[in-house]
Each structure stands twice: as structure tokens, then as C-alpha cells.
Structure 1
Amino acid sequence: MNDSTYHSRLGGLPGQTELLSSKAIFTTAYAVIPRSVMTDIVTSILPHWDNTRAWIIARPMTGFAETFAQYVMEVEAGGGSLRPEPDSRAQAALFVTEGEMIVELDGGAHQLRTGSFAYLPAGSSWSVRNHSGSAVRFHWIRKVFQAVDGLAPPPAIFTHEGEQQMVAMPDTEGKWATTRFIDPADVRYDMHVNIVTFEPGGTIPFMETHVMEHGLYVLEGKAVYRLNADWVEVEAGDFMWLRAFCPQACYAGGPGRFRYLLYKDVNRHVPLW
């Protein structure tokens, strides 16, 4: 049984009496895109998508984070796409935060609902359609697949958070746990998408510094996150975008649990230019 809630509602426009200042920031090491700036006027309309808008919250940028793009998608009733992905090199990870949709992959139909996850291999033929009576909202992570000689390409995955075990980090008494949608021991995959959960008082008790790039979308709750040399207060609907080797830590002060959707690139040698 899955009792999770996920922040999904974006859009609108602040009134003329609102302060224009916010915690939005872009640095050489990290960026924070708070939910307050994800308004109607920063959306994108995508080719071959009907009744759809997207908040593009990460894209490859030379000198910053270069491995992935992340979209927050909103597809109205009857909307979708028969040609969603323009790049045959790109694999996709989808995570539904609200609503229902049908994903067809190589002729097979899969119904996704709130909490569903899908991994779609590069070069596969897939489509999305919302046959329900209300909007569906989901994250779409795109990454060029890095093939490895001698390794078979990874298969598709269709699952749900409620079907996956939440694994506690060692010696944390369950205060810091990870739900993994992709087997971390399977090197055929070159990216992972997880949900990280902190109970009130849980911490990342050291400054993580590593080669993986991150996208962190806060699904639930609030916390104080250390990004490089700064402590930043974040809440449900905020997005953090971390460059490789950006030091990071976290303190989840409560009152409820703190959860985020996490992207990282994994399992490949560093390319030498």
C-alpha cells in the first residue's frame, strides 16, 4: 500500500502586489528553481504533443551539468503524443505525480497512475495518451544512452513506488531511506532514478562530493539543504540542480517527512576529451 503524496500543481501567476524576490539562484556549482517561479509564462510547448505544456527545469549546459534534461509535463484530458521523443539516442524515465495515462511501448500498452515509474530504452517506439477526464502530471527525464561494447542494452521497466522496497541507509534507524526503481547492480543502465525519504530529524551527515550530476525535485515536505557553501531552505515543488562534485548535505527538520525524486548518472567511464 502506498500512502505517498507528491507535489504536482505548478502554474498560475503571482499578483502585482507580491514581492519579486525569491530563493531562485543559479551558481557555477548548483541551481535552485523554486516552485514560486514555475509559472504559466515559463512553460514550453513541444512539437507533436497535443494539449500539453512542459516546465523544462534542466538541460545539458556546457560548463555546468551536461548529462540530462528534466521536464515537468502537464497533459490535459485527451492529450499526449504519438511522437514524443525526437532523438533516437535518448532514453527516458517517467514518474507520475498526479493522474493517469497510457504509455505504449513497441506495441504493448501500459497504464501508469500516480506513483508509477517507467524506463524506456533509447531507440524504442513509444507514445503517451491521456484517456482520463482530467490532467496527468509527470516528470520526464531524458538522457543520451551510453552504449558499452559487450553489454546488452537495458530492458524497459514499468513499476510503481508501492511495489518497491524502501531501503534504509546503514545505521540510520530508518530515518534516511531510498526507493530504487532501477537495480543499482545492473551496469546495463547508465542512470538511476530514485526517491529519497527522510523522516523528521534525518540527515545526510557529511558533505557528499562525487562525480555524479543530480536533479532533485522535492515531492513532499521541507528541509534545509547544503549546496556547495550555502544552506538553502527547500520545500515541495522546488528543484535543485547540482553539478558534478558540488558538495551537498541535508537536514530534515520536520514536522513531516521530506522526500525528493533524484536523478544521477552512473556506471560509465568518464569520457576523455
Structure 2
Amino acid sequence: MTHCARVESHCGRCDKPLPFEFTMAFQPIVDVELRRVVAFEALVRGPRGESAGQILGQVDESLLYRFDQACRVKAIELASQLDMQEKLSINFLPNAVYEPTACIQATLEAAQRVAWPIERINFEIVESEAVTDRAHLRHIVDSYREMGFSTALDDFGTGYANLDLLTELRLDTLKLDRQLVMQIDSDPRRQAMVHAVIAMAADLGCQLIAEGIETLAEARWLKRAGIARQQGYFFARPGLESLPEVPAARFAELDA
């Protein structure tokens, strides 16, 4: 395993167990040009498959730090147990990171314990978090980059994931929200917006991933527009503690 950060003793703020159980489901991210899965996103679920909302509803401010750290560790441990060979994408809560170097220690320890390469971890800034301190978020992203992690802005185009964040953050990936891509094959307004984002991402040196794809027509349009990285129910639903396969027929359909 290679990484720039040294594993140091952490503050202990996140050592207490959570008062509820949770696990992870994994959804594939595909490259339609390469015709293969290139990454999996770890998604919070209850131990019996309960929704993310049911779990997140139990996380109050006093549990925020512990929950964020526990999610990272759980995702890495499960990915290792499942022998994942692709990149692992983990959502993180910016407001739960009070100091990047201290708050990354549990992640580094878990990765070291299971021999998971740092360069195969991508951190997604979740849209649901309103970031009140932009300088702090920039410090997190820059610190993660220096450590060898990659970073992404989730749900780009809606909610808190707005254009102004890109004036301050050097991100590796933008994930286009479902609201931008749904029915894009027949919606000229969405098409115009996505074409503009494609040009902007190219100028900024950001990779694009379209998420929430549910139909063949959406996937085809996005591929023809130049967005090869895609994610959504069209390819596979999240698998509870498992790595769903994407049928080869899905890729063949895109060229039909």
C-alpha cells in the first residue's frame, strides 16, 4: 500500500460504538467505452437492508463524527472482504471533519489493516451537507489530495452542490445528479445544460460521472455526448454487502 500520510494515533473522539447498527450496499460505476465496472460506491444501509434515510435519521450532531468515521471503516473492511478490485467511492460529511489529518487516521488504520491501497479510495462530498466554511472544505480537499486520495462532488447541479464550489475546490470528479440526466434523451433544456457542464469540466480538468441513469435512452445519449462513466439502476441496483455484476448485454445495448 502506498500513501503520503503517516498513521498516527488519533484523538479518540470517534472510538465509542454507535447506538445502532448499519452496513453498506455497493453500486457499480461503469465505463461504457471500456465496457466494465471501474468503481463501486458504498451506500449506507440498515443491517437488514433498511434505507439510508432510516439510518441517517438516527444520526444527531453528537454522533456525527463517530458515524462518519464508522462509515469509512465499514466500507473499506467490506470492500476488502468482498475482494473488490475496483476503486472504492465513499461519501463523507464535510461538517464531520474538524481537522483532516486527525480525522483521516481511522481510515488510514483500516486501509493499512486490510492492505487497501490509498489510491483506490475516492471521497465524495455529499450534497445534503450545507458547507458554511468554504476555506475549511478547501483545506479538507487539498489535504486529501496530498495524502493520495481522489475527491468528487456528489449530486452536482442540485441543492448545495452548486457552481460556486468549483471556484474554490480542485476536484477530480463531478457527479451529475439524476435531476440533470433524467429523460435527457428527449429534453433539449437538460441537453444544453449538460453540454455546458461537459465543456466546463474539460476546462477544469474534472472527470464526469452521470448518476441515476434508469433507461437505455438516457445512457445512450450520455455516451454519445462523451460521458463514459455512468451509474444507476439501468446498470445495477446496489447490492447489500455484495458487488453486483453488470450484464455484458447492457453494454452491447448501448451500441445497438
Which protein has greater RCO, CA pairs closer than 8 Å, 6+ apart? Answer: 2
Q: TM-score, normalised by structure 1?
A: 0.32
TM-score (norm 2): 0.34
Structure 1 or 2: larger helix share?
A: 2
More strand by proportion, 1 or 2? 1
